[in-house]
Amino acid sequence: MLAMVFALLDKRTIIEPGDLLTALQWIRYWTESIQYTFLTGEQQDGLDEFTKAVLAAVAQRPGITLTDLQKVWHRHRIDEVKKSLETLLNSAPPLVEMRKD
């Protein structure tokens, strides 16, 4: 169907192989865009183990403060906690939410 639309946009009545390839590329782009936009927290393949642990700690205690989160690791991994939170906040969509009270 998309190939037909691309042919019509070029004011042609015959669908050419290039129209089919363009339609397939457009579908691939659309699919990847949707997957990127609506990526869920269940899809954490790109996260390292420590970041997954930080995400689990936040999920167990919604509203946890940065200080309390750092206490989970006895304040020994402060920089790693901050880096992991930054990764989670910059995910698309963000896997955590930060509020300043």
Tell me the pLDDT band of 79, cut-offs 50, 70 and 90.
very high
My answer on whether 17 and 66 are in the same domain is no
My answer on whether 75 and 51 are in the same domain is yes
Q: In terms of residue numbers, what domain contains 68?
A: 41-101
pLDDT at 31: 85
The pLDDT of residue 89 is above 80: yes
My answer on whether 80 and 55 are in the same domain is yes
As for how many domains the chain has, the answer is 2
Q: Nearest to residue 88, comparing CAs of 71, 72, 66, 73?
A: 66
My answer on whether 33 and 47 are in the same domain is no
My answer on whether 53 and 88 are in the same domain is yes
Q: Nearest to residue 1, comparing CAs of 15, 12, 11, 13?
A: 15
pLDDT at 81: 92
Give the count of alpha carbons within 13 A of 66, CB side only: 14
My answer on whether 72 and 26 are in the same domain is no
My answer on whether 33 and 50 are in the same domain is no
My answer on whether 51 and 95 are in the same domain is yes
My answer on whether 98 and 55 are in the same domain is yes
Give the count of alpha carbons within 13 A of 3, CB side only: 9
My answer on whether 88 and 54 are in the same domain is yes
3-class secondary structure, 29: helix
pTM exceeds cut of 0.75? no
My answer on whether 51 and 98 are in the same domain is yes
Q: pLDDT for 18-53, tens place per residue?
A: 999 999 999 999 988 887 777 655 555 678 899 999
